[in-house]
């Protein structure tokens, strides 16, 4: 059994790890920390929630223990795709470096440039940033990357999805060739191999799980749902989400509900709050201060339901999330792995439920192909609700409550001055069978005599009624044909 003490970490770092309550490294930590301490490049592939952040933060603190930072020249650089993930790395750094004098700066959007410039001017050992904000500072002449000794790219595949690969390549070119590079990701797309082959030198590859796998500690399920009417899909889908939440009962301590679109995040959050649920949204269009307050409330337990876009799929280090709900099936199969990876962390049990409408079937099939297993189907708590809705829908001509409903024949009968003629018509005995036959024959003979029959050939016109205009029964044959027949 491997312990942190056997990995060669600094005693000050080991003390901070013990204070945090950790005793044994995870597989990715045990595999990545020793080569990182040796100064080698590392390519780490592991499912989310396995401790990748500590895999590069712990050796980084140990390696930076000796030396001194200079103004505007950070000694190490950590790149993260989202603000939340960058903030998580910063929190981990604070936790494990508390016994050292190392400094850090967090460069993310939504924060004043002036405050960040002041930190950089003082000199920092560790610079944690998103690619866009980092290049903003560089282009303003406030930052030099020539002193970077260790460079980390976290969630490299997410960088690819968000279009950051050109920025990453440019940042690599701004750093010294002799730097140490660490790549960590939950999945490794083929496109990233080109980047690793270009900028990593003989990396130590650590793959502790099958590519794009989900943790065994997560109970997964899919609820198939078809709307009663197309225009009712959104409303009924939100009702299904509430029913799933209610069915989990006390087992649901807290949950993250993922939506594909930012607008949907706001709609779902507003709907849940309307029905009395403790919920709040988080997505990229919100102010950073509001996002920070929402995440803080979710972490300390004062917020039960967090409705999020994929901006929060990676970067939420909250080990005690009990449930994940995919309100929308993610359009990218890899996002499913990262979404449900927010639960079942650090050996805990978790549950992930996905709502799938007919339009999402192709995306669900792609997810099952990626994770190489079929996700169990779960019965909907609203099973049969569509049938009940159709059966309970009031009939248009039903009488109001407390008033006797009229008979169907009376409702469909034409209006009359009094109900007496209707009753007489209902009581009148049927006509003899010969009467209508005789009248029909008489009408046919009259029609043939008056109009020459259908098309002028002696055939009776049937079904038009006595009110039919005479011109409708005339022949429409061409004049030439009529004249020829007359000549014959």
The CATH number of the domain holding residue 291 is: 3.40.50.300
For 383-410, the pLDDT digits (tens) are 654 433 333 344 333 444 444 444 433 3
Q: Is the same domain home to 158 and 250?
A: no
CA-to-CA distance for 417 and 307, rounded, in angstroms? 63
Query: Looking at 328, 363, 391, which one is the last position of a domain?
Result: 391
pLDDT of amino acid 465:
56
Structure tokens at 453: 């029959």
SS (H, E, C) 215-282: CCCEEEEEEECCCCCHHHHHHHHHHHHHHHHHHHHHHCCCEEEECCCHHHHHHHHHHHHHCCCCEEEE
Q: Is the same domain home to 177 and 288?
A: no
| Average pLDDT over all residues of the chain | 80
**303 or 283: which leads in pLDDT:** 303
Span between the terminal Cα atoms of the chain, in Å: 115
Number of domains in the chain: 2
Q: Is the same domain home to 185 and 106?
A: yes
pLDDT of amino acid 458:
52
Q: pLDDT band for position 468 (50/70/90)?
A: low
pLDDT at 425 over 50: no
Kindly state the average pLDDT of the residues 234-248.
Answer: 95
Q: Is the same domain home to 254 and 164?
A: no
pLDDT of amino acid 38:
95
Let me know if residue 288 belongs to a domain: yes
Q: Determine which of 102-111, 326-335, 356-365, 474-483 has the lowest per-residue pLDDT on average.
A: 474-483
CA-to-CA distance for 327 and 234, rounded, in angstroms? 11
CA distances from 50 to 19, 54, 85, 346 (A): 19, 9, 15, 7
CA-to-CA distance for 150 and 233, rounded, in angstroms? 51
**212 or 157: which leads in pLDDT:** 157
Structure tokens at 446: 């009259």
Q: Determine which of 320-334, 372-386, 434-448 has the lowest per-residue pLDDT on average.
A: 434-448
DSSP state of 73: B
CA distances from 353 to 167, 173, 417 (A): 35, 43, 63
Q: Is the same domain home to 386 and 240?
A: yes
Kindly state the average pLDDT of the residues 108-121.
Answer: 89
155 CB-near residues (< 8 Å, 6+ apart): 80, 81, 85, 184, 185, 186, 314
What is the CB-side half-sphere exposure of residue 334 using CA atoms within 13 A? 18
**319 or 122: which leads in pLDDT:** 122
Q: Is the same domain home to 223 and 325?
A: yes
- Phi and psi based region of residue 202 (left: phi greater than 0; alpha: psi -120 to 50; beta: remaining): left
Structure tokens at 5: 């003490």
Q: Is the same domain home to 189 and 337?
A: no
Kindly state the average pLDDT of the residues 145-154.
Answer: 94
For 44-92, the pLDDT digits (tens) are 987 666 788 999 999 999 999 877 878 889 999 999 988 888 988 999 9
Specify whether the CB–CB gap between 224 and 378 falls below 8 A. no
Query: Looking at 207, 242, 275, which one is the last position of a domain?
Result: 207
CA-to-CA distance for 283 and 311, rounded, in angstroms? 6
DSSP state of 405: P
pLDDT at 382 over 80: yes
Q: pLDDT band for position 289 (50/70/90)?
A: confident
**334 or 378: which leads in pLDDT:** 378
Let me know if residue 443 belongs to a domain: no
What is the domain extent for residue 365? 218-391
pLDDT of amino acid 433:
46
**284 or 216: which leads in pLDDT:** 216
pLDDT of amino acid 216:
83
pLDDT at 16 over 80: yes
Q: Is the same domain home to 381 and 259?
A: yes
Q: Is the same domain home to 78 and 109?
A: yes
pLDDT at 189 over 80: no
Q: What are the phi and psi torsion angles at 452 (to 5°)? A: 75, 15
For 315-362, the pLDDT digits (tens) are 566 778 999 999 999 988 878 988 888 888 766 889 999 999 999 999
Burial of 450 (0-12, 13-18, 19+ CB in 10 A): exposed
pLDDT at 459 over 70: no
Structure tokens at 229: 């009417």
pLDDT at 311 over 90: no
Let me know if residue 223 belongs to a domain: yes
Let me know if residue 107 belongs to a domain: yes
Let me know if residue 87 belongs to a domain: yes
Q: What are the phi and psi torsion angles at 19 (to 5°)? A: -65, -30
Specify whether the CB–CB gap between 129 and 107 falls below 8 A. yes
Q: Is the same domain home to 197 and 223?
A: no
Let me know if residue 450 belongs to a domain: no
Q: Is the same domain home to 92 and 139?
A: yes
Query: Looking at 391, 406, 422, which one is the last position of a domain?
Result: 391
Q: Is the same domain home to 194 and 265?
A: no
Let me know if residue 33 belongs to a domain: yes
Let me know if residue 201 belongs to a domain: yes
DSSP state of 5: G
């Amino acid at each position: 059994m491997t312990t942190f003490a056997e990995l060669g970490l600094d005693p000050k770092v080991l003390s901070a790890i013990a204070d945090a309550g950790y005793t044994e490294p995870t597989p990715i930590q045990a595999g990545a920390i020793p080569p990182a301490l040796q100064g080698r490049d590392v390519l780490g592939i592991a499912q989310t929630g396995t401790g990748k952040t500590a895999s590069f933060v712990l050796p980084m603190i140990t390696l930076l223990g000796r030396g001194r930072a200079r103004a505007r020249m950070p000694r190490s650089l950590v790149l993260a795709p989202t603000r939340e993930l960058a903030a998580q790395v910063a929190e981990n750094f604070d936790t494990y470096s508390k016994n050292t004098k190392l400094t850090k700066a967090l460069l993310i959007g939504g924060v004043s440039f002036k405050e960040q410039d002041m930190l950089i001017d003082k000199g920092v050992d560790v610079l944690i940033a998103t690619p866009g904000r980092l290049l903003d500072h560089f282009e303003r002449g406030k930052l030099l990357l020539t002193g970077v000794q260790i460079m980390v790219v976290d969630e490299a595949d997410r960088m690819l999805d968000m279009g950051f690969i050109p920025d990453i390549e440019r940042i690599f070119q701004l750093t010294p060739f002799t730097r140490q590079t660490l790549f960590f990701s939950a999945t490794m797309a083929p496109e990233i191999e080109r980047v690793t082959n270009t900028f990593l030198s003989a990396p130590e590859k650590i793959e502790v799980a099958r590519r794009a796998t989900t943790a065994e500690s997560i109970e997964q399920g899919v609820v198939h749902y078809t709307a009663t009417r197309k225009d009712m899909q959104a409303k009924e889908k939100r009702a299904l989400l509430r029913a799933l939440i209610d069915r989990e009962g006390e087992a649901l301590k807290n949950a993250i509900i993922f939506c594909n679109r930012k607008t949907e995040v706001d709609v779902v959050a507003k709907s849940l709050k309307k029905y009395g649920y403790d919920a709040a949204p988080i997505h990229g269009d919100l102010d950073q201060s509001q996002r920070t307050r929402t995440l803080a409330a979710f972490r300390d337990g004062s917020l039960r339901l967090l409705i999020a876009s994929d901006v929060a799929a990676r970067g939420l280090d909250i080990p005690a999330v009990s449930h994940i709900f995919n309100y929308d099936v993610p359009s990218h199969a890899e996002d499913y792995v990262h979404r449900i990876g927010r639960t079942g962390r650090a050996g805990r049990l978790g549950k992930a439920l996905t709502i799938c409408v007919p339009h999402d079937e192709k995306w669900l099939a792609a997810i099952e192909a990626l994770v190489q297993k079929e996700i169990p189907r779960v019965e909907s708590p609203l099973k049969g609700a569509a049938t009940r809705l159709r059966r309970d829908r009031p009939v248009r001509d039903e009488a109001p409550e407390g008033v006797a409903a009229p008979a169907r024949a009376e409702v469909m009968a034409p209006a009359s001055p009094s109900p007496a003629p209707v009753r007489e018509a209902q009581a009148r005995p049927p006509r003899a069978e010969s009467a209508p036959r005789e009248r029909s024959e008489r009408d046919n003979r009259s029609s043939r005599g008056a109009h020459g029959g259908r098309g002028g050939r002696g055939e009776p016109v049937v079904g038009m009624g006595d009110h039919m205009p005479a011109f409708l029964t005339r022949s429409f044959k061409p004049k030439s044909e009529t004249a020829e027949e007359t000549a014959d």
